[in-house]
Structure 1
């Protein structure tokens, strides 16, 4: 049995041992100080090391060279003493409105750079975030383009080389058409169709070779073809889940049926629209 005096001595010895172990751990970690050593080196310099043990025997060194940022072995006060400043960014902004008024779209938020990085500090990252969103409130304006009359309309087509977006000057073949209206209307859009049936004549003219069964093509509704009386759309732009007719102006014997796949602001086809509405 230990006496009370012996027990007290044992407790003190244990506490002292714990303190020594903590001090030893600090030494092994090599928590030197760049400021105390007055070291701050450019580039990667293995001589720019700091340790509690000047003989580098009982501890691992930390470093005060800029290469330590890549190696991850900088002294704890390296950045403060050597003027290394990490990028500092502000708070995230509110999420923006959905990019569309109807259907699937995107919303984003951003944050500003409060202080740019300096002297090799951490770069600015993740300044913008994007998430998906969906809106239904504005779909009524799109449905306005899909009146019952669209089922009875025939789309009159011209090759895309007649597009006003190509900024061609001079005579416009559409001026001979009774339906031609010289108006500037910025409510332009693009329709993707899937051809259900096409006459053989479509394959006899290079301008209409893309009009064959099963092919998906883009047709642009440009400002000159927009009809206000049709709700600000092009005649013959079709309807969803139903077949409508088309006819090529340059090759009148080229005609057929197609089904509208989707309506987009810009034509998604890799080569742009193949045709434009008249």
Structure 2
């Protein structure tokens, strides 16, 4: 009885040692398998990575289903996608109008064995060209003229008839492109242009003095042709003709809600 009990204890001890020491059955390396995607035929018999014994897999899906063979990570290491640097921006797609420019990058290493997937390979941004191959545009697009929001405190208001109830409004835009001249504005009245950055959202207020005669909106705000679309429009900073660009209209606001550095006025 004592011998039988000792034998049982020994077998149990050996089983625990075998479990702790690790797999002794074929895995991905011995079977020479490392398969892409979910492949039921890509399997072996042995210890799984969760220390259970049975059918184990060597395909990429085993990472999410947790039934990989014990040596999957070392035999089939994950390789994430590797891409090149961005190319230079292309020219505008069409001259004489607000349109888009493009840049792209290429795949240098495809992802393998559940590695990180590739990021997007193409980017678009707004741009505008004021000339064509034949010279200056005949009908160049008229940009919105903007100035720092602080100018509104000292602005002389144009006489507005009492019969017209105009309180002004605000339009939010996302900057999609701007010239390098904006960052080179060092004068005391043009330093605000240095806060302009691609991708930032800005608020531009339309005050009554900026309204054209007989109009209820400011020039260049996209109000006439809105139609619910996110339009790409041109803008020009007052005081520095080298600071201009393109922005995408987000929508009209009854009250501006942008930080002071990102708040401007239509002129």
The structure with the larger Rg is 1
TM-score (norm 2): 0.39
Higher fraction of helix = 1
Taking structure 1 as the reference length, the TM-score comes to: 0.37
